[in-house]
Amino acid sequence: MFNIETYKDRRQRLKERMKDGILLFLGNNESPMNYPANVYPFRQDSTFLYFWGLDQPALAAVIDLDQDKEIIFGDDFSVDDIVWMGPQPKLHDLCAQVGVQTVKSSADLANFIFRALQKGRPIHFLPPYRHDNMIKLQEILGIRADYLKNYVSVPFIKAVVELRSVKSEEEIIEIEKALDITYQIHLEAMKLIRPGLKEYEISGVLKGKAMSLGGSLSFPMIFSVHGEILHNPHQLNLMEKGQLVVLDCGGEAPSHYAGDITRTLPVSGKFSEEQKAVYQAVLSAQTAAIEMIQPGIRFRDVHLEAAKVLTLGLKELGLMKGNIDDAVQAGAHALFFPHGLGHMMGLDVHDMEDLGEEYVGYDEHTKRSSQFGLANLRLARELKSGFVVTVEPGIYFIPQLIDLWQQEQKFKDFINYDKLESYRHFGGIRIEDDVLVTENGCRILGKLIPKRIEGIEAIMQK
Amino acid sequence: MFNIETYKDRRQRLKERMKDGILLFLGNNESPMNYPANVYPFRQDSTFLYFWGLDQPALAAVIDLDQDKEIIFGDDFSVDDIVWMGPQPKLHDLCAQVGVQTVKSSADLANFIFRALQKGRPIHFLPPYRHDNMIKLQEILGIRADYLKNYVSVPFIKAVVELRSVKSEEEIIEIEKALDITYQIHLEAMKLIRPGLKEYEISGVLKGKAMSLGGSLSFPMIFSVHGEILHNPHQLNLMEKGQLVVLDCGGEAPSHYAGDITRTLPVSGKFSEEQKAVYQAVLSAQTAAIEMIQPGIRFRDVHLEAAKVLTLGLKELGLMKGNIDDAVQAGAHALFFPHGLGHMMGLDVHDMEDLGEEYVGYDEHTKRSSQFGLANLRLARELKSGFVVTVEPGIYFIPQLIDLWQQEQKFKDFINYDKLESYRHFGGIRIEDDVLVTENGCRILGKLIPKRIEGIEAIMQK
């Protein structure tokens, strides 16, 4: 939890951006696995954390803009609860720590909202993504759960995005704590990976590492010898000599700020010559992209530059051909690089994704493309000082996609399908770092996790 | 996944227990953490797994009793999905593996139910505990999410409980796989625990252990020097010499069958004399309870017998006094043992808790008590061969509860409050095993995890 002034200031700046009505914030609740009392690890809503700091379930809050009041709704524990849960601080004391004096019972929220609705006052709420909160909104607003998305407050979304997009110094410190955990996971991976083990035998240890450091993971870890499967949740494969492992993971600090780093590691500890060549193309693209990052540049342009460097590398390998600018403009490179270069990062690893990528990653000057690959770009807009973004180009050989494109003879002037055949089982390579946009340029956050070929091999062969 | 005949047979026996109408099964969906795409590890609904075996999100199934039809509703992946998720088996092939020939699109479910409702046919459904499924039921049945609980099918619940309560040999094998994981976690704990570390430094490693063995945890691990807090989710304490750690955890096998074992371990590797005396009382109660377990005995009687052995131990320590039977009948022991002796275990660690404890743990001959402590008993009914139950007595010194009872002079003829003062900071002790009710008695499941004082000390001091 930050200092009381942080939260008061954040709410003050939010109020300045909104006109009138009630701003309604729903905290998250416990989330059941296989029956109501058996719950997943609690994760508070990030916007709730940002403005109210309280990291416990079953809270709501309002800012009454017209009467300039702030209220938190929640309930204290009973003695019966204390037998099961241990002694608990009083909610009133917790609220005081984040500068809120008025605390009401959970049961009062519906009544509070009802009275405001009766007076015709606007109730601003953000897009709900937890279904329990959809049902709660249905109950207190009288809007059917599946219609709620049509009634969210765009001014509220825009104001929250504006504030949360620019990270303060104290937020950067928290992100770097998450990156300390991430660093330790990656270094541990470099020590543990070897042929003959199943993926989960290592990834299990790495997930435990995050928790044994007092943190958690900001998203489900990707740890796979099939790096070409972009969001591969399975870790059942045997790791064999000659394969590469893509490890894409992020620690989450106790404050819930995220990290998100990818490295691609040779199972045997040494890259083959063929792997080195593809790896170097990805690393060059990542380096070139990071060098471009500064306030005022559009992230889509950084993405396209990275795509060009990748295309150059693929041409040198004989896998692409023709004019690089034309190939990238047509989208031919997306066979190998079908995802976006990166995304915002903060309290969420895809920061504010619940509020809508069109508000976070795009703006009135930058609209989403419909081209395959480019359409997946989560962040395209102009960068500002204080943004934290990931930079994560990759090259993948996806057999199903190659077959599909080859059948259609898609971009055959840019893609050398014959040569591609021998790369069919190559897998994929991605390299990712987290970057803070500074006033003059950018800074890679966190302690350096080796990404040069020699650096990785040196650690893995120890 | 079991053999096809297992699932066909389970559904056949279910059909024999139901009269008419439609049995509706909703599988679980992905569950979001902090935005829709950032999800917790997927956990299928246990009843869905039991009858349909398919361990993937976004499925539903029906048994049409009148027309003797079985249908699974779900959707295949698109090529776009395959880029992100890798090649996926066809749903039709998966369904064939569990004996289901008819597969329809998810979108057809609402229509199917609507047509059945129009014909006035009963739609049987189980109590929903995931809010997304509540919203789905609201949409397809037209019943408001918060009223659904009034419309669940009691005959359906009872039939499912009857079948799932009795475990087959192949289910016992799966439970013992979960207990293999649990064994390894406990043995690792005995090797790692030492003074000077924070709880999470060890518990994090233990959670990782479950995953590195290819499994997961059947519930959030309890690992605490404050064992007197029964469901302590926090692991921030420093472990100090002289303290005890309660480790209550269960592995979950890849098939999702659970284990659930508790051991109480001395941080220093050696119990003090005072700790030994309390520990021995709990161990005697646990042993006595297990010896009683056989078909035909009521679990409430086993609970009460355990309570008597605990009370005897507490009398020998000078903490209780008076006639043991009277003390237990009055409920005086519940100051030290405020929870129930155990619960059913199977695909859920509290098996079928979503269906209602009144159906799982109680029956027409055994109604729930309202007495403090006894009211928390999850399982009271007569045991049958094939049930798997936990046996987990404990003695706890809960300062808030002691103060409350002492102020009220509650049970002062049975409790020696003066003597209790010196135990205020003792913490708690619990010992738990998982037991299969056999035809003649019972069998403790899984490889033996040391629970005698000498056995624990021998491992911890290695």
The b/e string for B24-33 (b: 16+ C-beta within 10 A; e otherwise) is bbbbbbbbbb
**Residue in B closest to A254 by C-alpha:** B236
CA distance A440 to chain B (A): 32
E-state strands within B232-345: 244-249, 251-252, 261-266
**B434 forms bridges with which residues in the sheet?**
B390
**How many of the other CB atoms lie within 10 Å of CB of B122?**
17
Interface residue A370 vs chain B (CB under 8 A) = no
Phi first, then psi, for residue B327 (nearest 5°) are -60, -45
Closest residue in A to B201 (Cα–Cα): A212
Q: Residue B17: what pLDDT?
A: 97
The answer to whether B41 and B216 are in contact (CB under 8 A) is yes
Q: CB A87 to CB B200 under 8 A?
A: no
- CA of B124 vs chain A CAs: smallest distance (Å): 19
Could you give the angle at the alpha carbon of B321 between the alpha carbons of B316 and B323, nearest 5°?
105
Q: Output the DSSP codes for A361-387.
A: T-BTTB----STTGGG-S--SBP-TT-
Rounded-to-integer distance, Cα A153 and Cα A137, Å: 13
Interface confidence, given as ipTM, is 0.97
Q: Give the separation between CA A342 and CA B9, rounded to whole angstroms.
A: 50
- Please report the residues numbered 406 through 435 in chain A whose beta carbons come closer than 8 angstroms to any beta carbon of chain B: none
Give the gap in angstroms from C-alpha A130 to the nearest C-alpha of chain B. 7
Q: Strand A442-444 and strand B102-104: pairing?
A: unpaired
In the prediction, which pLDDT does B8 show?
A: 98
- Using the beta-carbon criterion (under 8 Å), do A349 and B38 form an inter-chain contact? yes
d(CA A177, CA A167): 14
B236: chain A residues, CB-CB within 8 Å:
214
Task: Collect all residues with Cβ–Cβ distance below 8 Å to B364 and sequence separation of at least 6.
Answer: none
> Measured between CA atoms, how close is A94 to chain B, in angstroms?
17
Q: How many CA within 13 A on the CB side of residue B456?
A: 24
Query: Are B214 and A208 a contacting pair at CB < 8 A?
Result: no
Asked if A206 and B208 touch (Cβ cutoff 8 Å), the reply is yes
Nearest CA in chain A to B231: A84
Residue B214, SS3?
coil
Nearest CA among A290, A293, A305 for reference residue A439: A293
Whether residue B36 lies within 8 A of chain A, CB to CB, comes out as yes
The Cα-based distances of A329 to A375, A378, A409 in angstroms read 13, 18, 18
Q: What pLDDT is attached to residue A82?
A: 78
Pairing of strands A69-73, A102-104: parallel
Rounded alpha-carbon distances, angstroms, from residue B83 to A51, A322, A336, B37, B94? 37, 25, 11, 16, 21
Please count the helices (runs of H) and the strands (runs of E) in chain B: 16, 17
pLDDT tens for the 462 residues of chain B, in order: 899 999 999 999 999 999 999 999 999 999 999 999 999 999 999 999 999 999 999 999 999 999 999 999 999 988 778 778 888 899 999 999 999 999 999 999 999 999 999 999 999 999 999 999 999 999 999 999 999 999 999 999 999 999 999 999 999 999 999 999 999 999 999 999 999 999 999 999 999 999 999 999 999 999 999 999 887 777 999 999 999 999 999 999 999 999 999 999 999 999 999 999 999 999 999 999 999 999 999 999 999 999 999 999 999 999 999 999 999 999 999 999 999 999 999 999 999 999 999 999 999 889 999 998 899 899 999 999 999 999 999 999 999 999 999 999 999 999 999 999 999 999 999 999 999 999 999 999 999 999 999 999 999 988
Please report how the helices B4-17 and B154-165 are oriented relative to each other, as an axis angle in degrees rounded to 10: 140
Q: Which residue has the tokens 């720590």?
A: A97
Q: What is the pLDDT of residue B221?
A: 97
Instruction: Check B220 against A43: CB less than 8 A apart.
Output: no
Pairing of strands B69-73, B102-104: parallel
Looking at the DSSP assignment, which residues form a beta bridge with residue A428? Answer: A396
Output the pLDDT for position B84: 80
Q: Is A232 on the interface with B (CB under 8 A)?
A: yes
Q: What is the per-residue pLDDT for B81?
A: 80
Which amino acid would we find at residue A229? I
Which residue is associated with the tokens 């039709």? B92
Alpha-carbon gap: A213 to the closest alpha carbon of chain B (Å) = 6
Tokens of A377: 């770009």
**Four-way CATH pick for B169-460: 3.90.230.10, 3.90.550.10, 3.90.1300.10, 2.60.120.10:** 3.90.230.10
Do B4-165 and B169-460 share a fold?
no
Q: What pLDDT was estimated at residue B85?
A: 81
- CA distances B125 to A210, B113, B359, Å, are 40, 12, 15
- Chain B: give the shortest CA distance to residue A47, in Å: 9
Alpha carbon of B317 to those of A12, B10, B281, B332, B398: distances in Å? 59, 51, 9, 15, 17
Strand pairing report for A442-444 and A433-437: antiparallel
Contact state of A206 with B203 under an 8 Å Cβ cutoff: no
Using alpha carbons, list the distances in angstroms from residue B402 to B336, B392, B406, B417, B418: 9, 22, 6, 8, 11
Query: Which residue in A217, A149, A261, A165 sits closest to B39, CA to CA?
Result: A217
Strand order, beta sheet including A222-224: A222-224, A244-249, A261-266
Q: Which CATH number describes the domain made up of B4-165? A: 3.40.350.10
* Long-range interactions of A70-73: CB distance < 8 A, separation 24+: A70/A11, A70/A99, A70/A100, A70/A101, A70/A102, A71/A100, A71/A102, A71/A103, A71/A104, A71/A112, A72/A100, A72/A102, A72/A103, A72/A104, A73/A103, A73/A104, A73/A105, A73/A106, A73/A108, A73/A109, A73/A112
DSSP for B89-156, written as a single string: --HHHHHHHTT--EEE-TTHHHHHHHHHHHTT--EEEPPP-SHHHHHHHHHHH---GGGGGGG--HHH
What confidence score (pLDDT) does residue A354 get?
A: 98
CB contact under 8 A, B207 and A206: no
CA gap B51, B15 in Å, rounded: 11
Between helices B299-316 and B273-292, what is the axis angle to 10°?
160
* Segment 122-141 of chain B within 8 Å of chain A by CB: 129-132, 134-135, 138-139
Judged by CB atoms closer than 8 Å, whether chains meet at B40 and A39 is answered as: no
Q: Give the one of B83, B205, B233 whose C-beta lies nearest to A338's C-beta.
A: B83
Q: Please state, in angstroms and rounded to a whole number, the distance separating the CA atoms of residues A401 and A416.
A: 14
Which chain A residues have a beta carbon less than 8 Å from that of B138?
A: 145
Please check whether residue A56 touches B, CB under 8 A: no
Domains in chain A: boundaries: 4-165, 169-460
| Cα gap B231→B239, rounded to integer Å | 18
Contact A209 B204 (CB under 8 A): yes
Which residue from B79, B129, B209 is facing A35, i.e. has the nearest CB?
Answer: B129
A80 near B CB under 8 A: no
Q: What is the pLDDT of residue A364?
A: 87
Regions of chain A where pLDDT drops below 70: none
Question: What's CA A83's distance to the chain center, in Å?
Answer: 37
